[in-house]
Amino acid sequence: MNTKTLRISCAQLSFPVGAIQENKDKIINTLKEAEKVHSDIVLFPELALTGYPPEDLLLRESFVGKNFAVMEEIAEFSGKTSGVIGFVDRSLKKQKNDNVDRDIANAAAIVQNGDVKGIYHKCFLPNYSVFDEARYFDKGTNPSTLFWYEDIAVGINICEDIWIEDGPAEEQIKKGASIILNINASPFDLNKINQRKDKVKNKAKKLGVPIVYLNMVGGQDELVFDGGSFVVDKNGEIIYMAPQFEEDFFTLDVELDVKDIISESNLYLNDKNVELEPLVSTKELDKIESMYAALKLGLSDYVTKNKFNKVLVGLSGGIDSALTATIACDALTPERVIGVAMPSKYNPKSSLDDAKQLAKNLGINIKEITIEDTVENIRTLVSANIEEQLKSVVDENIQSRVRGNLLMALSNQLNAMVVSTGNKSEMAVGYATLYGDLVGGFALLKDVYKADVYNLAKYRNSISEVIPQNTIDKEPSAELSENQFDSDSLPDYDTLDKIIKLYIEEDFSSEKIINSGIDKNVVYDVLEKIDRNEYKRNQVAPGVKLTNRAFGKDRRMPITNTYKRERN
């Protein structure tokens, strides 16, 4: 069988949602770079032109129309190097799933020599987890579409298409494809990286052709796109692995078998007169490294894209606020982070000392605001309007809400977004105060279990010791009453985290969780807390999705819910 070399460039880049003009400029500049190395094809991510996910922007005709006009401009610019570019196309089929016509498609345009030479429509539209593509798009009905570069048949498909058994990739191989190019906007979670690699490696081995898997990178609201693009040969072996959580532009030559099929071609191969530098794969990050990188990128992009100059972090001397401030400094630089310590009479001096030491280690400014007088004034005002003694929970929440009020006032004054510090374990069971420690524009640790808060802190200190050891070692406490500790209200965090994971991420029943070896009364108490506090979580700011089931868009539970679990 004859072979031929296909030179492929991959643009693992960030494409912000709605920034169509900016994304056009980035695409054109990348096409220029690919031309310099005489690439045959340069791949761009899924919906690169609009950014992903554009959500209800897709319901605006002006947005979709702008996307068409700009795609024409990109096509006119294209030269010998062919571009495969994710964009929104018109669909004339208007398939009916319900009473709404969907007249657009998630598409890839193939451009070369000043024209759009072909278009592929995504055939399988994910409608689970954080995805709701069936809300907007009509699905493609030509999964076997091929694009011929002289006598090489190329199969191009989009994201979910590659996950389907006997899907578009298989159809394209049957028609004669010598390679599969899959463009993605696949958000990060801790299980996804290995799942992607295993799926694509097995598919390449099964089909006997190389596969290029290109992914987007960057933060978008709660989602982080982690890059990690890769290329596998026909035996399923990885040829190149791109870095995670950072942009990368790479080019490689792939040797392909030329199938004995004759087809009319309207795409051309480039003259390859430029030698390529050999590629060296990037070392894959472990779980904690990936989490830290995702949190950094998610916060950085959220702050930058929403045009905040700085961020504020309330520093209690505890582990959650210490980790939050540390990640903020790594993501944004210390000059853009302001710490605020707000001690009351229940905060020991050691906690304030830990907060100050953290600020010194990080090189950030810290404001110290003593809140006791303000809290006492509110206690007096509330007590004067009730006929009973102030409940302990009311007193505790007054302190937390005074702190929240101060943070938001400083936020308005300084144009600095508040980053809240609560973690997933606390939010699950409602161990947090609405309009108090839950205030903020971004809940960075929203999908981080308490155990991983400690793991992340230790990981960061292994690079340079910034979080005081006393902060890591001391027993967790909200410090809202005398000698208060988290263990007074909650089971130990290892047990709590196990219950939350089984219930939220695995959808285990109470019986199944109890059968895993946990005391049934503890299980019922925790599950009731989780169910009862849906209304709180619904009001929490967005935060980085790390697990396969995060609170927020990923888990949609009714707030008003009268279904009650019976204890056995």
Which residue numbers are catalytic? 46, 122, 159
| Distance between CA atoms of residues 323 and 425, nearest Å | 15
| Distance between CA atoms of residues 83 and 566, nearest Å | 58
| Distance between CA atoms of residues 53 and 58, nearest Å | 10
DSSP SS3 for 446: coil
- CA–CA distances in Å: residue 461 to residues 163, 455, 469, 479: 39, 10, 9, 25
Among 298, 264, 252, CA closest to 447: 298
Contact between 6 and 256 (Cβ < 8 Å) = yes
In the numeric block, which tokens belong to residue 365? Answer: 């400014």
| Distance between CA atoms of residues 167 and 337, nearest Å | 48
Q: Report the amino acid identity of residue 461.
A: N
Among 231, 274, 237, CA closest to 254: 231
| Distance between CA atoms of residues 418 and 562, nearest Å | 34
| Distance between CA atoms of residues 487 and 462, nearest Å | 28
> Which residues, 6 or more positions from 448, have their beta carbon under 8 angstroms from its beta carbon?
291, 295, 423, 424, 456, 546
Q: Are strands 152-158 and 179-184 parallel, antiparallel or unpaired?
A: parallel
DSSP SS3 for 322: helix
What are the strands, taking DSSP E only, across 114-247? 115-121, 147-149, 152-158, 179-184, 211-215, 217-220, 223-226, 230-232, 238-241
Contact between 14 and 217 (Cβ < 8 Å) = yes
Q: Are strands 211-215 and 179-184 parallel, antiparallel or unpaired?
A: parallel
Count CA atoms closer than 13 A to 534's CA, side-chain side.
14
Among 313, 396, 397, 327, CA closest to 355: 313
| Distance between CA atoms of residues 163 and 183, nearest Å | 12
